[in-house]
Structure 1
């Protein structure tokens, strides 16, 4: 089965859900409750005009959110309209996927990764060091089928991650490796642990999102056999 970018947009929404989502005119709007751009950005339901943009801007401002749009595959016209209005382009993101059995072919070293939910205090501490605070933990809590991954390396905590499943695809979010544990293979074992958990819960594919600026993470996913499926970026109104 070939995975499409639009499938992964849905998987992202299902595994990293906003506090509230609703359609208004030609837009899907999201109340992120402080959980970051992915759960706060507006997206177009189809073709939009320049005259449609103020409606979305007003709705976001009413929620106390800065006007922010996610530009997905096929949204070139919207991208141009927002650029003309002075919106800045930020955070180009690559969507990756791989058949899950390509990551379940190696047994994990003993006492390396643990599937844990609710998150332990050490997991929250690791996430906090990476800027993943309480509002993003609330995002994780809203997901339905999920687990946390706690890595242990060199006989001490190594990293933390989050995995959710939506429509047969397991997606990894919030993968953080402690600075003194990096470049030792910890992230790879965490991805394999996520895949083993996903396969056990019926997933056929793994997926992950990565900003283009994160060169080491993009290199890791390519090394593991992930294929680039699509992209998205944001347009934000400077304030």
Structure 2
């Protein structure tokens, strides 16, 4: 079962540039920051008229229609499927209390703000570019970045922010040569220590189901799935 407070924390700690209500829908402008901040969501009773109006807004803004479908919204999912929407990117939402994470070791890295040049380079290698850095910059405090190290070499990074005692980690990225050496787990501990010091009681994240290695790691750390979603999209503009 999805937890509404968790989705609130996800949005507060990784916010779109703008959002507005269109009847039962929340319409978002992500300013090129990816699906999560650009998708519309259904927050009330679905009607064909409201869906038509939201599709018209996507078309007016010269955007492909994009909806995030959460667990329990099977009827809405069916409607979109019947309208020819393509489903993609199923995502699991995970959370764990902070006491499940081992204490961080000083040699594994540290927290910092704002992001440094080397962190931006690591993110860029993983496809996390300037538009997503802008999301980090506009996220309210408290927030920090993680810089993970292997020996003396910066090798991983991530972003953490807190909403309503839930710390959420986003954009966790390990440089390719440093993978499968325990750095991601170490950065989770760094994030948990920081979150504890800033009044949080749990650590949460989102991970695509295609990333089976990450799902296995987070499960081993004691994180539990408490929500899910996927996207549906359709080209309404006539452009590629």
**TM-score scaled by length of structure 2:** 0.94
More divergent stretch after superposition (222-231 vs 151-160): 151-160
Query: Over residues 24-56 of structure 1, what are the superposed CA-to-partner deviations in whole Å (9 max), with x where a residue is unaligned?
Result: 111101011111100010001122123322211
CA deviation after TM superposition for structure 1 residue 77, in Å: 1.2
Task: Check whether the contact 1:158–1:181 (CA below 8 A) recurs between aligned residues.
Answer: yes
Pick the aligned partner of 1:27 from 14, 25, 28: 25
| CA drift at 1:154 | 3.1
List per-residue Cα deviations over 1:149-203 (Å, max 9, x = no partner): 0111032111110001011100000000001000000000001100100010000
Equivalence for 1:60: 58
Cα root mean square deviation, aligned: 1.4
Q: Could you tell me how far apart the structure 2 residues matched to 1:91 and 1:195 are?
A: 27
Could you tell me which residue of structure 2 aligns to residue 85 of structure 1?
A: 83
Q: CA deviation at 1:102?
A: 1.3
Q: 3-state SS of the aligned residue for 1:128?
A: helix
Question: Secondary structure of the equivalent of 1:188?
Answer: helix
Q: CA deviation at 1:4?
A: 5.1
Determine if contact 2:2/2:70 at 8 Å carries over to the other structure. Answer: no
Question: Which residue number corresponds to residue 176 of structure 1?
Answer: 173
- Secondary structure in 2 aligned to 1:61? helix
With normalisation by structure 1, the TM-score equals 0.95
Q: Aligned match of 1:213 in 210, 216, 228?
A: 210
Q: Give 1:159's aligned residue.
A: 156
Runs of 5+ consecutive residues of structure 2 not aligned to the other structure: none
SS at match of 1:38: helix
Find 2:223's aligned residue among 218, 221, 226: 226
Q: Secondary structure at the match of 2:4?
A: helix
Secondary structure, aligned partner of 2:35: coil
Match status 1:188 vs 2:194: no
Aligned counterparts of 2:77 and 2:2: Cα–Cα separation in 1: 21
Greater displacement, 221-230 / 139-148: 139-148
Residue of structure 2 equivalent to 1:11: 9
* Correspondence 1:125 to 2:126: no
- Report the Cα distance in structure 1 between the residues aligned to 2:173 and 2:6, rounded to whole angstroms: 21
**Equivalences, count:** 235
Counterparts in 2 of 1:4 and 1:77: CA distance versus 1, 3 Å:
closer
